[in-house]
Amino acid sequence: MSSQTPPQLPTVLFVATPRALGGSNRSLITILGRLEGKVHRVLAAPADGAFIDLVAAEGLADERVELPRRPQTPVDRLLRVFGGLKLAWWAVRNRRRLTAIHANAITGLNLAAPAALLTQRRIVVWVHDPVGSRWGAVLGPLVRRLLPHLQFAAVSTTAEAVAVENGLCAPGDAAIVPNPIDPAEILAENPRSGEVPLHVGFVGGATERKGFDLLPDVVAALRDEPIVWKLYVFLEPSDENAAVWDRLSAFPPDLVDPVGKIPDVHKVYGDLDIVFIPSRAESFCRVAAEAMMNGIPVVGSDIPPLQTLLGDDEAGLIFPSEDVAAAVAALRRVIGDAELRRRLGEAGRTRAAAYAPDSITDQLLALYGA
């Protein structure tokens, strides 16, 4: 990758801290691809992981700054401080060509704040965070005072509320810039045609926030239905979900299929007839939007981001969060009614068109001042 910036292109420094291809990083992947030839893309991110592997394979960065991975031990935290100083030193040395800093999520802001402070360049924080933090609420007002060129783009009103809760901005200060959903990245090449047994998918993190702990009770209640559960999640148990995996492993393999995490989402959505999302908290919920763009009906909890995506039973059915009986009833409706599945799927395709990448990229470019 060249370290020389074409003189006609503004330079934007993108700061992303996760190593995995979660929702925020997958959204950034789409944006980086759309920005080719529009800005000089400098990416500051950990040196290894699925995210940076894809960036390298697709040539999505013109220049890179290596950062330490997210801290898990005291040594990692010290390295994280070093990473912030390294980023600040790069920004100071390249101040003349630096137009803006893009911090992906509030964790990106924490790392990029020294660089923005020393260079006085505008910093755009694309907030993907579904919940706030105790330390965020303490440090947020200080960051807001120190960085006069701080701007916020939130993927939803829920994400904006997190920035407000953390004292980073006032209500209404953030531009709502949702996650971009690129059909080329997610549309299934060979979608299922509704043959029995139907495939019901759980896609994403096997965590309590995602409602993974509710799955065994829902599976047990629907054992009489002609379905197979497809679990597209990391299969290695953690302290949080070990008991849930113990319960799921008791079901026969023709009922629960733990497929595992698959980076190629084309294959994921090509394997599903219904997507189940019992999340307790989301900032946007890419899984729902991607399912909708594939014409797959969603059964999801009534948290605000899912309500915004799905509408009033337009692209899926909503049930009260954590209500297993209501979730089971909604799933039974969708499983037993092919015409309902078709209608929900068609509405999903229509609603998902609002998340086309080009207009979202233009919004971010305007915030960069590029």
Each residue's pLDDT tens digit, 91-125: 999 999 999 999 999 989 988 999 999 999 999 99
The helix (H) or strand (E) run that includes residue 15 is: strand 11-15
Q: Let me know: does 274 contact 341? Beta carbons within 8 Å.
A: yes
CATH number 3.40.50.300 given to 11-177: no
The least confident of 1-10, 165-174, 331-340 is: 1-10
pLDDT at 38: 96
Specify the 3-state DSSP secondary structure of 110.
helix
Find where tokens 């998918």 sit.
201
pLDDT score of 346 more than 80: yes
Specify the 3-state DSSP secondary structure of 157.
helix
Domain boundaries along the sequence of the chain = 11-177, 184-354
DSSP assignment of 256-289: EE-----S-HHHHHHT-SEEEE--S--SS-HHHH
pLDDT at 2: 47
11-177 and 184-354: identical CATH topology: yes
Model confidence pLDDT, tens digit, residues 215-258: 999 999 999 999 999 999 999 999 999 999 999 999 999 999 99
| Best CA proximity match to 142, nearest among 121, 124, 117 | 117
pLDDT score of 29 more than 90: yes
The least confident of 33-37, 55-59, 103-107 is: 103-107
Rounded CA separation 226/313 (Å): 23
Q: Let me know: does 204 contact 284? Beta carbons within 8 Å.
A: no
Place 70 in a pLDDT band, splitting at 50, 70 and 90. low
Q: Let me know: does 296 contact 269? Beta carbons within 8 Å.
A: yes
Model confidence pLDDT, tens digit, residues 253-290: 999 999 999 888 999 999 999 999 999 999 999 999 99
The least confident of 66-80, 261-275, 318-332 is: 66-80
CATH number at 184-354: 3.40.50.2000
Number of H helices, E strands in the chain: 15, 13
State the average pLDDT over residues 119-132: 93
